[in-house]
Structure 1
Amino acid sequence: MSPSRMISTLFGDEEPSIIADSDSFLQECKLWGFKTANISELMELPKSSIVFSFSNAAAKRTFEIAKNTKTKKSIFCATQVFEPTLPTALYSLRLLLNSDFDRSLRTQRSVLNMLNSNHDFSLYGNEADATVSILPHAQPYALLSEDISENFVQSVAEFFEVHYAHMNAQEPCPFSFTGTLKVAGILTVLRKHNSILPEGLRASLKWLSDRISIEGAFLSISDNTIISLKLNNEEQIKLLDLAAGSRGLKLTEFAIGVNEEISSSIDYRVNSQMNEGISGVHLAIGDGSSGFHIDFLSPSVSVSPIH
Structure 2
Amino acid sequence: MSDTSVNNTSKAAQVQIGQVQIGHGDAGFSDFYALLKPRVMSLVVFTALVGLLAAPQPVHPFVAFVAILFIALGGGASGALNMWWDADIDRIMKRTQKRPIPAGRVTEGEALGFGAFLSVFSVVMLGLAANWVAAGILAFTIFFYVVVYTMWLKRTTPQNIVIGGAAGAFPPMIGWAVATGGISIESVLMFCLTFMWTPPHFWALALFMKSDYHEAKVPMLTVTHGRKSTRLHILVYTLLLAPVAIGISFTSIGGPVYLAVSLIFNALFVKGAWDIWRRDEAQAEADGYRTEKKVFGLSLLYLFAQFGAILVESTLRIYGMGGW
Scaled by the length of structure 1, what TM-score is found? 0.26
**Which structure has the bigger radius of gyration?**
2
Scaled by the length of structure 2, what TM-score is found? 0.25
More helix by share: 2
More strand by share: 1
